[in-house]
Amino acid sequence: MILVIDDDIAVRTSLLLLLTSEGYTAADCAGPVEAIKLIKKNEPELIILDLNFSNDTSGKEGMALLNQIKKINAAIPVILITGWASIELAVQGMKAGANDFINKPWNNDHLLQSVKTLLDLNEKKAEHHTRKQLDKTYNFQHIIGEDPKMLNILETIGRVAGTDASILIMGESGTGKELIAEAIHQNSLRRNKPFIKVNLGGISTSLFESEMFGHVRGAFTDARFDRVGRFEMANKGTIFLDEIGDLDAGSQVKLLRVLQDRTYEVLGSSRTKSVDVRVVCATNKSLEEMVSKATFREDLLYRINLITVYLPALRDRPKDIPLLVNYFIDNLKEIYNRPALSVASNAMKWLQQLPLPGNIRQLKNIVERTILVSKKDELDIDDFRTQLELSPVKKGNIQLPGIGTLTLEEVEVAMIKRAMEHHKNRVAKAAASLGLTRSALYRRLDKYQIPYDEAED
């Protein structure tokens, strides 16, 4: 049974009709006292809760009732319904244990999707599986790992893949966030529909709307043709928003609207379009910390992280390193026509001891470079050590200038110039080596007036 708690009879009637027409059993009540009696007598599977029950619009009554519900049974999913005026209150409600918040007037499809997602998640309880059991149930063929932390992650994404829950994937650079996003899509009901990847760090603020929502011919000076946006491309499928922590404040507001209402406007057109899309986001930044510094919207964070997956660094799952190395070797045997390639056992143990701050991406890079340089079929420690020493990631042994000899700005300018020179003015590669997005490097080049002739990436 789904319980609707709202003092407005028109709202209750509309929601009851909507829910029962979809085959759900639903009940309603007008206020906290009646609600508590109903919840204790006939525990609902899900609650849709308004935040105000009188002329007082502070939301205190709704928040108090939410706290009472969570004391009775913290596992009951709660969807808050609220007007724009109380969006901050809805965010507080999420902190207090609510599972989702939906704006009034609501979109029926969006509300039903949230109901279905939360009920499905509540039904599917986590069980502990071996990697073989997981592989029998799900399609995880491109994800290598048997570490317990990884198995827990695979269990989680296996359970939630079949729902439309928004998922936030967090982890250091190179930990495989994109592979996890693809696995979520491949194991979902949308697997035969588009999977659209968007690197938000590579989209400039001025082009954000055009890239994400499309534009019509003549919308701006260079708009010579109509353009389909990424959300429209992803319709009925999954959109993967990578590097969401790099999004500026203005673009965050525009993204929040489409995630809340599932509607957007093509640039240069006044016609509103609807979109049916599953959203998966990823970042290597701490969004909670960014929220505390007011550089990331709190309501956007709650919109994208119904489920959060934290990918462990490779150094925290060293037993998976041999599996990954062998996987890379098997692929590279064919690519480089070296069928006898192998790794000495002492070299494998040595690789397991490395800190590998660049994670899986760095390990793959070291293995491939070693194969290219070494003529031997069995690779040993010295072969790998030589390539590790050539690796640009050696943060622990950096020789810094003496205090007072250079300002931080002068160090930054010197590093940018070195990176641009090393990568022969290829901005994308120079940016990656500096740990910056392409747009962030362009801003610094302009700021410091560093001259360059951009080479083709």
How many residues are present in the chain?
Answer: 457
According to the model, what pLDDT value does residue 395 have? 46
Distance in angstroms (rounded) separating the CA atoms of residues 102 and 386 = 56
With a CB cutoff of 8 Å and minimum separation 6, the contacts of 412 are 444, 448
- With H, G, I as helix, E, B as strand and everything else as coil, classify residue 309: strand
Within 10 angstroms of residue 207's Cβ, the number of other Cβ atoms is: 15
Distance in angstroms (rounded) separating the CA atoms of residues 159 and 127 = 10
In tens digits, the chain (457 residues) has pLDDT values of: 999 999 889 999 999 999 999 999 999 999 899 999 999 998 899 999 988 776 666 778 888 999 999 999 988 999 998 775 566 777 788 888 898 888 888 889 889 989 998 988 877 655 567 889 899 889 998 899 999 999 999 998 998 898 888 999 999 999 999 999 999 999 999 999 999 999 998 888 888 999 999 988 876 777 778 889 999 999 999 999 999 999 999 999 999 999 988 899 998 888 899 999 999 999 999 999 999 999 999 999 999 988 899 999 999 999 999 999 999 999 999 898 999 999 999 999 999 999 888 899 999 999 999 999 998 999 999 999 888 866 654 444 455 665 555 678 878 888 898 888 888 888 888 888 888 888 889 888 888 888 877 665 5
Distance in angstroms (rounded) separating the CA atoms of residues 456 and 424 = 10
Residue 375, φ and ψ in degrees, nearest 5: -95, -5
- With H, G, I as helix, E, B as strand and everything else as coil, classify residue 3: strand
Within 10 angstroms of residue 456's Cβ, the number of other Cβ atoms is: 7
